[in-house]
């Protein structure tokens, strides 16, 4: 068993990792940000065991990062949506993506842009008070290295393989 | 055993988590950013088993995130320093800290400011081309909720308990 808990760490990074640091958790949040909202879509995108996905989703709902929303009454079916708290993880996810783009991927599989004017968006350190872009004002689109194996908006399948 | 690998994920976030997503790894990088550079300082700050710390440090050196630098010849002693690649993780760490400050900590244990003018610094989404602050231009200082249990610059012990 993995030793649980960053106990004794008076640190907001450690507390954050308690909530989103488990394996797969940040990739689940990434996929919901990309528009995958249903259990089967997430399971297909991530290729993980259903019990692991169930466990992670329940934890994220308990923590108020995701909420379960009824989308079909008969049969009763729920999808997952990000709360404001969940959406606010977009800065950290964008920063992690950028770092991977810079150092680990040959070309970016995905790019972030502002919805309203398609302006490219980056995560950065800026002085407090700088004009920033809200997490709900941006969208991720395929970059030069996009393939079918990347999670895609609304679970559309690959256009090239 | 934890199933290794986010194989088949054409995604820079998944690739990044392969490098920095293991338990403790991001907290090690946080501590080196805060000025803890020696094995014993890191071990004391994190309170983890020495073999786990050794394993994580070796991995980070192999990945080019940290480098081992000789600081004493007799006895031969090394400390860990962030490379440019490692320093560039500061945006993601700052974003994770901010999220924890906002949603999980009552008051921020630590604040980020620009060294030159003490201006408060935040991680944010901004249009590409916005004037930003480099990772090496900022420093973390104690915030309102700082205590001795938070990792401290240069391993100075608590001023209040």
- Please give, rounded to a whole number of angstroms, the shortest distance from the CA of B56 to a CA of chain A: 15
Low-confidence ranges of chain A (pLDDT < 70): 1-4, 147-161
Q: Which helix (H) or strand (E) holds B54?
A: helix B50-62
Three-class SS of residue A45?
helix
Burial label for A101, CB within 10 Å (0-12, 13-18, 19+), is buried
Residues of chain B positioned with their CB less than 8 A from the CB of A99: 12, 16, 88-89, 91-92
Measured distance CA(B26)–CA(B127) in Å, rounded: 27
Query: Does A146 reach chain B within 8 Å, measured CB to CB?
Result: yes
Length of chain A in terms of residues written: 161
CB atoms under 10 Å from CB of A115, counted, come to 12
From first to last of its 161 residues, chain B has per-residue pLDDT tens of 344 577 778 899 999 999 999 889 999 999 999 999 999 999 999 999 999 999 999 999 999 999 999 999 999 999 999 999 999 999 999 999 999 999 998 888 888 999 999 999 999 999 999 999 999 999 988 888 776 555 555 433 433 33
The CATH classification number of A12-109 equals 1.10.10.10
Q: What is the ipTM of this complex?
A: 0.87
Q: Decide if A127 and B121 are in contact by the 8 Å CB cutoff.
A: yes
CB atoms under 10 Å from CB of B47, counted, come to 12
User: Do A28 and A56 touch, CB atoms closer than 8 A?
Assistant: yes
Helix segments in B88-139, DSSP class H: 90-103
User: Do A22 and A56 touch, CB atoms closer than 8 A?
Assistant: yes
Residue of B nearest to A110 (CA): B11
Output the pLDDT for position B4: 53
Q: Regarding beta strands A138-142 and A121-127, do their DSSP bridges make them parallel or antiparallel, or are they unpaired?
A: unpaired
B124: nearest CB among A10, A11, A124: A124
Which phi and psi (to 5°) does residue A109 adopt? -70, -20
Output the pLDDT for position B151: 58
Give me B10's structure tokens.
């054409």
CB atoms under 10 Å from CB of B72, counted, come to 9
Measured distance CA(A77)–CA(B134) in Å, rounded: 46
Measured distance CA(A102)–CA(A104) in Å, rounded: 6
Query: Does A47 reach chain B within 8 Å, measured CB to CB?
Result: yes
B109: nearest CB among A12, A104, A122: A12
Output the pLDDT for position A10: 82
Query: Does B156 reach chain A within 8 Å, measured CB to CB?
Result: no
Domain assignments of chain A as residue spans, ordered by start: 12-109
Output the pLDDT for position B92: 96
Q: Regarding beta strands A77-82 and A66-72, do their DSSP bridges make them parallel or antiparallel, or are they unpaired?
A: antiparallel
User: In Å, how far from its chain's centre is CA B56?
Assistant: 13
To the question of pTM greater than 0.80 for the whole model, the response is yes
- Please give, rounded to a whole number of angstroms, the shortest distance from the CA of A77 to a CA of chain B: 27
Output the pLDDT for position A47: 93
Which phi and psi (to 5°) does residue A62 adopt? -60, -35
Which phi and psi (to 5°) does residue B153 adopt? -55, 135
Count, in order, helices (H) and strands (E) of chain B.
Answer: 6, 5
């Amino acid at each position: 068993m993995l030793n649980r808990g960053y106990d004794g760490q008076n640190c907001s990074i450690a507390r954050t990792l308690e909530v989103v640091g488990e394996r797969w958790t940040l990739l689940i949040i990434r996929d919901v940000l990309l528009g995958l909202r249903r259990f089967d879509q997430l399971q297909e995108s991530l290729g993980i065991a259903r019990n692991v996905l169930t466990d992670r989703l329940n934890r994220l709902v308990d923590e108020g990062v995701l909420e379960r929303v009824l989308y079909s009454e008969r049969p009763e079916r729920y999808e997952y949506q990000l709360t404001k708290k969940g959406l606010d993880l977009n800065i950290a996810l964008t920063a992690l993506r950028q770092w991977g783009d810079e150092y680990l991927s040959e070309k970016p599989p995905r790019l972030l842009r502002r919805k309203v004017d398609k302006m490219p968006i980056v995560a950065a350190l800026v002085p407090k008070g700088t004009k920033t872009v809200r997490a709900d004002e941006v969208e991720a689109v395929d970059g030069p290295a996009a393939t079918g194996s990347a999670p895609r908006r609304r679970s559309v399948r690959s256009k090239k393989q």
